[in-house]
Structure formats: structure tokens, C-alpha cells
Amino acid sequence: MLLILEPNTQKEQQEKIIQRIETLGLEAHVLPGKGRFAIGITGNSSPLEPNQFSGLSGIQEYIRVSKPYKLCSRDFKEENTIVKVGEVAIGNGSCVYFAGPCSIESYDQLHTIGKEVKKAGAKILRGGAFKPRTSPYSFQGMGIEGLKILQKVGEELEMPTITEAIDLKSLELVNEYADMIQIGARNMQNFPLLKEAGKLSKPIFLKRGPSASLDELLCSAEYILREGNSQVVLCERGLRSFDSHTRNILDIAFVPVMKKLTHLPIIMDPSHAAGRRDIIADLAKACVAVGADGVMVEVHHKPSEALSDGPQALLPEDFKDLLAH
């Protein structure tokens, strides 16, 4: 439930309302907004009734929020959330590019690619150190050595960094070395991982599973917000389909629909959706046109030698053309 308070409600009245909520064994979330002051209530397994707040002054309206996610919903917070990654702000109206290789392979590889994407206009450097691969025989990532390279290159190029955590152990390491933590499509419903990520103060980049509904993704985000970390962005990276011309189907409606449902920034990843270099720039332009807060693209200077996702890596010059467009 959402309680809309009367304008000019005194602090004392607010505290009494919060106390009542806590007496009911529930959690109160103070939600100051532009034209209203609200208190969101979570923790109830059955619907609340207005008479549970009888005797309290200052409540103007009771709004039932029946969705299974609340803190990440527009109902609870009308204003867009701005997520800060180092000095880079995501969600303030401009489109932020995340770029870099799928996997970190060496210092020289990441530095070469990083330098190029920064020059072209990328704001955040990506690179996987822990790779969730379909086959156990595929390259699994450089692990902690990769994280050290990412940190070094990020510092040298003055770019904030993002890399994926695949389990609780890597989460601790990624939290230590990177500026933003990616939780990948395969881990979207790894609830223990989401809860731990929610206890951290680093921003979280949560990807949609290839067959997850929007409500399921929002519930996963809720796990993180509920633990106290509200610095979360949501990313569409393609849905599994029946057609083999693209690796996945890019759900372009993700942006406008999610913008209605949530205040969290919305990012698009056309690389994992397309799986093929020749159409990624066109898809990226569509993502910008539809209002994405950010676009993540994989870039490699020698895609034929890449240890993962070479066929979908843009060449640095393709990336430069895309951003110059």
C-alpha cells in the first residue's frame, strides 16, 4: 500500500504513521516526490485496510499496490532514478554507452579496445572476468587476474568499469575491483545472489533472462532494492526465439513498457540479442530512438581471435561510426 500524505504534514505526524506501520510488523519507505509526499509499505502478505491507520492524521489517500514488486515500481516512485557509476550518471535523459570486449583476455587486449571505445565516446568500460558459458569446455574467463586488468585499465583510461559476478564468491571480488556489478541473464533469478548484491553499495546492472517476463525481472530487481541498494539498472539482451537468423530477438518494446512500470534506468544490449556484427549498429540506433538510458555493446579489435562472442563483436571503427551518427 501507498499512503499519500496531506501537503505540509508535520514531521511528528509522519513519525506516528511510520510507527503504526512498524507496529503492524511492516516496513515503511519514505518516498518524497515532486508534487507529493508518500510512504510506501512493504512486508504485508495480505492486503492492508485503511482502518488499520485509524486515529492518525495527515493521510490524504490510500493506494493499493497489488503488484508483486513495489520499491522499483512507478507507483511507489514517480521520478526517474539516476544511477551513478563513478562520475557517470545513468537515467538523466542522455544515452550512456557501455563498451568493451565480451571477455578480458590480456592487459594489451583490454587496453587497446578501451582506448578506442573511450575515444569514440563510450563512458563505461565492460569486460568479463567470470564468464557464464553454456559449455563447460568454453573459455571461463581470467578470474581475479582479469579483474586486476580491468581495474588497471579503467584507472589508466579514467573510465568506470563493469564486470559480471556469477556467484557469491565472485560477487565479493567484483565488488572489490569494479565500479558496477553485472548480474547476467542466466543469474537473473539467482535469489541468494540478488540478495547479497542488495547489501552492497555498488550499482547493479541486472540483465533480463532470455525467457523472463517483465514482471519476473522487476521482482528480481525488487530483491536487490529490498535489501537497501536502490542503484539498479535493468537491461534487455534478447529473448529466445524460434528463428535462427539472430541469436535472440531484441524486445524493443522493453524500453517504453518498462519506462511506464519502473523508475529504474533502462539499458539495451543489442550485441547479445543479434549475435551478429552486421546488424548491431542499426539495432543500437533503434534503442536510442526508443529512449534507452544506455546501450551496451561488445567491441573487439581482433574479433576472429576473441575467446568469446567474436561473431557479435563490433570493430572499434564500427563503434566509432555508430557513435558519430
Q: Which residues bind ligand PEP (CB under 6 A)?
A: 102, 128, 132, 184-186, 207, 237, 272
Which residue lies nearest ligand PEP, judged by its C-beta? 184
Which of 74, 133 has the CB closer to Mn ion? 133
* Least distance in angstroms from the C-beta of 127 to Mn ion: 10
Cβ contacts of 281 within 8 Å, gap of 6 or more:
314, 318, 321, 322, 325
Q: Distance between alpha carbon 12 and the CA centroid of its chain, in Å? A: 36
* Least distance in angstroms from the C-beta of 309 to Mn ion: 4
- The only residue of 109, 274, 309, 322 in contact with Mn ion, by rule CB under 5 A: 309
* Least distance in angstroms from the C-beta of 132 to ligand PEP: 6
Q: What are phi and psi of 184, to 5 degrees?
A: -80, 175
**Percentages (nearest 5) of helix, strand, coil residues in the chain:** 35, 20, 40
- Rounded to whole angstroms, the Cα distance separating 283 from 270 reads 6
Which of 128, 316 has the CB closer to ligand PEP? 128
- The only residue of 17, 41, 99, 102 in contact with Mn ion, by rule CB under 5 A: 102
- Told to check if 269 binds Mn ion by CB under 5 A, we report no
**Residue 300, contacted partner among ligand PEP, Mn ion, none, CB below 5-8 A by kind:** none
Which of 185, 221 has the CB closer to ligand PEP? 185
Cβ pair 262, 228 in contact under 8 A = no
Which of 105, 309 has the CB closer to Mn ion? 309
Which residue lies nearest Mn ion, judged by its C-beta? 102
- Rounded to whole angstroms, the Cα distance separating 236 from 214 reads 10
Neighbours of 155 (CB within 10 A): 10
* Least distance in angstroms from the C-beta of 4 to ligand PEP: 38
**Residue 237, contacted partner among ligand PEP, Mn ion, none, CB below 5-8 A by kind:** ligand PEP
> Residues 105, 106, 107, CA angle at the centre, nearest 5°?
140
Cβ pair 97, 160 in contact under 8 A = no
# binding residues, Mn ion (CB under 5 A) = 2
- Type of residue at 160: P
Cβ pair 80, 91 in contact under 8 A = yes
**Residue 184, contacted partner among Mn ion, ligand PEP, none, CB below 5-8 A by kind:** ligand PEP
Strand partners, 239: 249
* Least distance in angstroms from the C-beta of 261 to ligand PEP: 20
Residues found near Mn ion in the complex (CB under 5 A): 102, 309
